[in-house]
């Protein structure tokens, strides 16, 4: 977080330096307000760059064997440019190295952990354990103590990235 703040201020200082140089080259013909305007544009430009590269940066930091199973692009009210080009704010990954395959009554069950990354004012990471029934394409959440958290499993589309990742890796 502190490095992000330092980078924002550095971008502003760099852009203000360019404006100062342009003002000096033009022998003060450019108005004085160009310096703080360039500083603001530089800081805003870095913020926009950082927001649109957050997903690529975070997904590249994941260990080998993790697969991105879903992502969400959306608009944010205080970032009006996201209405023209939505930004990825949430994505989930599954660690395929830690899948536990169980065979019970002719059903193929796979236990796995799904990690959810959210871009808020700070990055938030949550995790949830699941059991996916690959035979019937149903998923149910479980606790860390392997207790079922919901009464009804929900259906999973057999073409979804989650189903294909978990069930094809478990074979």
Residues 75 and 57 in one domain: no
Same domain membership, residue 118 and residue 85:
yes
Whether 57 and 86 share a structural domain: no
- The answer to whether residues 114 and 132 touch, using CB atoms and an 8 Å cutoff, is no
Do residue 157 and residue 88 come from a single domain? yes
Reported pTM: 0.82
| Contact criterion met (CB below 8 Å) for 71 and 90 | yes
Residue 16 sits in the same domain as residue 84: no
pLDDT tens by residue, 86-99: 999 999 999 888 89
Distance from C-alpha of 54 to C-alpha of 63, rounded to nearest angstrom: 17
8-54 confidence digits (pLDDT tens): 999 999 999 999 999 999 999 999 999 999 999 999 999 999 999 99
Label residue 137 left, alpha or beta by phi (over 0 means left) and psi (-120 to 50 means alpha).
Answer: left
Type and span of the H or E element at 21: helix 2-25
The boundaries of the domain holding residue 171 are 66-171
Q: How far is CA 120 from CA 54, 68, 102, 114, 155, in A?
A: 11, 19, 37, 19, 29
User: CB under 8 Å to 151, separation ≥6 — which residues?
Assistant: none
């Amino acid at each position: 977080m502190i490095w992000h703040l330092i980078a924002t201020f550095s971008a502003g200082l760099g852009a203000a330096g360019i404006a100062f140089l342009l003002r000096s080259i033009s022998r003060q013909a450019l108005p004085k307000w160009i310096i703080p305007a360039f500083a603001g544009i530089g800081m805003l430009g870095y913020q926009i760059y950082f927001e649109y590269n957050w997903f690529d940066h975070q997904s590249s930091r994941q260990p080998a064997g993790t697969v991105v199973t879903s992502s969400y692009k959306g608009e944010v009210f205080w970032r009006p440019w996201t209405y023209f080009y939505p930004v990825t704010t949430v994505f989930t990954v599954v660690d395929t190295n830690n899948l536990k395959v169980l065979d019970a009554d002719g059903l193929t069950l796979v236990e796995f952990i799904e990690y959810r990354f959210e871009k808020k004012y700070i990055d938030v990471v949550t995790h949830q354990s699941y059991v996916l029934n690959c035979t019937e394409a149903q998923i149910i959440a479980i606790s860390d103590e392997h207790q079922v958290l919901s009464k009804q499993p929900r259906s999973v589309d057999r073409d979804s990235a989650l189903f294909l990742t978990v069930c094809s890796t478990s074979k």
